[in-house]
Amino acid sequence: MALQLGAAAAHVLTRDRAASDRRPTAIVGRDPRVSGEMLAAALSAGMASRGVDVLRVGVLPTPAVAFLTDDYGADMGVMISASHNPMPDNGIKFFSAGGRKLPDSVEDEIEAAMAELPDDGPTGTGVGRVIEEAPDAKDRYLKHLAEATPVDLSGIKVVVDAANGAASSVAPKAYAAAGAEVVAIHNRPNAYNINDNCGSTHMDQLQKAVLEHGADLGLAHDGDADRCLAVDAEGNIIDGDQIMAVLAVAMKEKSELRKNTLVATVMSNLGLRLAMEEQGITMLETKVGDRYVLEELNAGDYRLGGEQSGHIVLPVHCTTGDGTMTGLKLMARMAETGQSLKDLAGVMTVLPQVLINVPVANKTAILESAVVQESMAEAESELGSTGRVLLRPSGTEQLFRVMVEATESEQARRVAGRLAAVVAAV
């Protein structure tokens, strides 16, 4: 499938390319999980079979591959990663020229092309080359990070959980280069330990390490390093909503927050909206997924958006979520103000929110279930205007997410548990 997908993507993404003496090129990166090795080989072969030269940049974060697609002037980019998912999973993400994620319509074209690809592909000198190593790729990306955040972080001690993923060889270097004192944990990937009880989906060890080392903060990345969550000096988790609140206020103060607008998703805590209203910042909501945040950012030419999960997008600097960039910006705000992360995050009060992931066999059946809709309406009536209910299918796993917000934790837990039981029974 990866072989076919590489060929189909090359066909679709390079077919409208202007005439040039240069052969079309693709950048291919991956996270450290073991299946990435064979998938990279298959994808590269598929693209080369359609006349595309392939530059393999090795293990690097998703945002690095997006940046390098633009920086090298490539026609397309490919990242092989399942992000925060367990090691046995994997996925393939494409970027167009400029390092931008593809709209749904183009992805549909690629899927269709897999079944309809012409048999008369190039032969002989028309076949592309696969270059196995780009020795300056990591340095280009690190330089980009440094130029985007020219703030001295001396005096800040940070613990970095690299999730044994793509951040392992990048994030600690980037933070140290900016002047921070860095303690790195889970930064020894072996192809099998990515996201294994570490990183942004398992924060307990980072919380413990921050306290043990007396650090000012901790930063947690996921497998492909497009996410960043934080821990303050007291071990409290600072999620993506709180990080967005801190950065939005900082950018507004510097007149960098275009139209004084923040773009978030429907999963963001109600406390974020209330905090932004108090700060005179408009908050726009999108469907869940960083691609939808990106679409809204681009449509309105906004400057900050993201998700509660830690995908933070700063379009001036990057075309997708960049966890390492987020960490740098967060520490820069600490350095500029002299305030602790806890104090900075205090701009927002997090309302009780309960999220239950329910394993399901058929996501569509849940969406169409009258019983689920009826139960959801009852929950919304019980919560009134002081709470919120959101049910949605996971985009990457056979799960249905049940989220409930309320002013009281016990009520949120009770309502969420009741809804989750209904979903599980369908």
Distance, in Å, from the CA atom of 195 to the CA atom of 201, rounded to the nearest integer, reads: 8
Q: What tokens appear for 58 in the block?
A: 């090795």
Amino acid at 225: A
Known binder of ligand: residue 75?
no
Distance, in Å, from the CA atom of 212 to the CA atom of 36, rounded to the nearest integer, reads: 35
The verdict on pTM exceeding 0.95 is no
- Are 307 and 293 contacting, i.e. CB atoms less than 8 angstroms apart? yes
Distance, in Å, from the CA atom of 146 to the CA atom of 166, rounded to the nearest integer, reads: 18
Q: Which of 132, 35, 165 is nearest to 91 (CA)?
A: 35
Q: Is 83 a catalytic residue?
A: yes
3-state DSSP assignment of residue 186? coil
Catalytic-labelled residue, pool 83, 96, 168, 375? 83
User: Which domains are seen in the chain, by residue range?
Assistant: 2-135 (3.40.120.10), 140-255+313-345 (3.40.120.10), 353-425 (3.30.310.50)
Q: Which of 146, 145, 158, 162 is nearest to 59 (CA)?
A: 162
| Per-residue pLDDT reduced to its tens digit, 260-313 | 999 999 989 988 998 999 999 999 999 988 889 999 999 999 999 999 999 999
Q: Which of 180, 246, 168 is nearest to 213 (CA)?
A: 180
Query: Which single residue is written with the structure tokens 């020229």?
Result: 97
**What does the pLDDT read at residue 20?**
67
DSSP E strands in 85-165: the ranges are 92-96, 100-101, 130-131, 157-161
| Per-residue pLDDT reduced to its tens digit, 328-350 | 999 999 999 999 999 999 999 99
pLDDT tens, the chain, 426 aa long: 999 999 999 999 998 776 667 899 999 999 999 999 999 999 999 999 999 999 999 999 999 999 999 999 999 999 999 999 999 999 999 999 999 999 889 999 999 999 988 888 899 999 999 998 899 999 999 999 999 999 999 999 999 999 999 999 999 999 999 999 999 999 999 999 999 999 999 999 999 999 999 999 999 999 999 999 999 999 999 999 999 999 999 999 999 999 999 999 998 998 899 899 999 999 999 998 888 999 999 999 999 999 999 999 999 999 999 999 999 999 999 999 999 999 999 999 998 989 999 999 899 999 899 999 999 999 999 988 778 899 989 877 899 999 999 988 999 999 999 999 999 999
The runs of H, that is alpha helices, within 303-407 are: 323-337, 341-345, 363-368, 370-383
Q: Which of 24, 59, 60, 27 is nearest to 44 (CA)?
A: 27
Q: Which of 201, 315, 304 is nearest to 260 (CA)?
A: 304
Neighbour tally for 164: CB within 10 Å: 27
CA 317 to mean position of chain CA atoms: 15
| b/e per residue 235-273 (b: at least 16 CB within 10 A) | bebbbbbbbbbbbbbbbbeeeebeebbbbbbebbbbbbb
Amino acid at 282: T
Tell how strand 305-306 and strand 312-313 pair up. Answer: antiparallel
Known binder of ligand: residue 226?
yes
Spatial CB neighbours of 368, under 8 Å, sequence gap ≥ 6? none
Query: Which single residue is written with the structure tokens 């988790």?
Result: 237
Query: Which single residue is written with the structure tokens 């001295």?
Result: 152
**What does the pLDDT read at residue 386?**
76
| Per-residue pLDDT reduced to its tens digit, 58-86 | 999 999 999 999 999 999 999 999 999 99
Instruction: Report the percentage of the chain scoring pLDDT > 90.
Output: 87
Tell how strand 76-80 and strand 25-30 pair up. Answer: parallel
Known binder of ligand: residue 224?
yes
Helix (H) or strand (E) holding 111: helix 104-116
CB-side neighbour CA atoms (13 Å) of 81: 30
